Amino acid sequence: MPRQVSKTAWKGCAAVVRRVNWSMMKAIQTAFFDAKPYDREMFEMVNRGYGIELKYFDDHLNADTVPIAAGADAICLFVNDAVPRKVAEALAAQGVRLIALRCAGYNNVDLKAVYQRIHVVHVPAYSPFAVAEHAAALLLTLNRKTHKAYSRTRDGNFSINGLMGFDLHGKTAGVVGMGKIGRVMSGILRGFGMRVLAFDPFPDAAFAQASGCTYTDLPTLYREADIITLHCPLTPDNVQMINAETIAQMKNGVVVINTGRGKLIDTRALIHGLKSCKIGAAGLDVYEEETDYFFEDRSSAVIGDDVLARLMTFPNVLITSHQAFFTREAMANIAQTTLGNIRAFFEQGELPHEICYRCGEAACLRKATGKCF
């Protein structure tokens, strides 16, 4: 009689089969665009546990560079890589099946153009502390002018004329966008003893009660806040939400901080507000036309963007190059989530962090099927 195989033995055989299948699997080919040295270092370290074949390219993805993705199963993109319809069609024709964004934002991808062609995943959260803490650093630097004091003392100038700031304690802060980053920022500002007004399309009464912030509408926030800090995603409804009309509603001398998306602010209107002293200071980690400049070394070139060049002439404007996310913890989380997204799709057919233009609508299938299409 044939010998029966125990359940334990079957489980052992299954494990061996899984290991054999894994060893026989073709490596997932991924074209990694806009690869900076710090990207390569972190992704190579984290990828030891994933085994994905990453091919790094210095170039941004655009209509001219899309051919170098030929043969890739997936592409990995950052905020300044563009996927308009023409690029989306070319990627689909080349057989690319997944766009893995190593960032939270996805406004650089034409989601309608890729729908039913290429799945798109992102990193919904990496470190809300990193971004909120950078926003607080911009605020503190602008207020107490520590960047100017540093330059002065390095030159032997110990005068404090022109360096006067104001107490944050007792002032009113307006936080626009109360996701994870906005909530952390709210806690930081409350820690300074500030009154916090919050705006979000989906107010959370329980959080407001627990944290001590107050949800309100945008006109009230604009009218009452001494400091306004933006932590919302870019959507069709809030493009240039900070504009000439809304700036007119704000307090004289208001401080504006933006670590969200550049296009939340009409930069020309911001410049006018700065010139008229309606806006007392601006701390910007993002800029609406940042693609050609941010993350690149342009120190030996003329700034061809007249709006950016004008913005940089103001002594009460502090610009950083989209670095709010840039901490060791955040970079590790980004690499882990991005590589996990890629492997989950190609090995298990799962897309836990997929996005499409129908997300949030009843027509999106992700809640029912786990995929947007």
> Does 279 share its domain with 172?
yes
Instruction: Report residue 367's pLDDT band, with 50, 70 and 90 as the boundaries.
Output: confident
> Does 168 share its domain with 312?
yes
Other Cβ atoms within 10 Å of 149 Cβ, number:
17
**Residue 301: CATH number of its domain:** 3.40.50.720
* Euclidean distance between CA atoms 114 and 129, whole angstroms: 32
4 domain-assigned: no
Instruction: Report residue 22's pLDDT band, with 50, 70 and 90 as the boundaries.
Output: very low
Domain end point (choices 281, 297, 319): 319
Domain end point (choices 277, 294, 319): 319
Mean pLDDT of the chain: 92
265 domain-assigned: yes
> Does 198 share its domain with 172?
yes
Give the model's pLDDT for residue 258.
Answer: 98
298 domain-assigned: yes
Reference 316, options 134, 160, 165; nearest CA is 165
Give the model's pLDDT for residue 11.
Answer: 42
What is the widest separation between alpha-carbon atoms in the chain?
Answer: 98
Instruction: Go through 285-307 and write b for each residue having 16 or more CB atoms within 10 A of its CB, e for each that does not.
Output: bbbbebbebbeeeeeeeeeeeee
Give the model's pLDDT for residue 18.
Answer: 36
Report, as an integer, the average pLDDT of 154-175: 97
- pTM value is 0.86
Phi, psi for residue 318 in degrees, rounded to 5? -120, 120
CA 98-372-44 angle, to 5 degrees, is 30
Report, as an integer, the average pLDDT of 38-54: 96
Domain range enclosing 157:
128-319
> Does 93 share its domain with 118?
yes
> Does 238 share its domain with 335?
no
> Does 268 share its domain with 343?
no
Give the single-character DSSP code of 288: T
Write the pLDDT tens digit of every residue in 171-224. 999 999 999 999 999 999 999 999 999 999 999 999 999 999 999 999 999 999
> Does 107 share its domain with 185?
no
> Does 242 share its domain with 283?
yes
Which helix (H) or strand (E) segment is 254 a member of? strand 254-258
CB-CB contact of 225 with 200 (8 Å): no
58 domain-assigned: yes
Write the pLDDT tens digit of every residue in 306-344. 999 999 999 999 999 999 999 999 999 999 999 999 999
Give the residue numbers annotated as catalytic, written as ranges.
261, 290, 322
> Does 284 share its domain with 154?
yes
Give the model's pLDDT for residue 322.
Answer: 95
Percent of the chain residues topping a pLDDT of 90: 86
* Euclidean distance between CA atoms 337 and 344, whole angstroms: 10
288 domain-assigned: yes
Query: How many domains, in total, are found in the chain?
Result: 2
Write the pLDDT tens digit of every residue in 61-114. 999 999 999 999 999 999 999 999 999 999 999 999 999 999 998 989 999 999
> Does 42 share its domain with 146?
no
Give the model's pLDDT for residue 17.
Answer: 33
Give the model's pLDDT for residue 2.
Answer: 42
CA 71 distance to own-chain centroid: 28
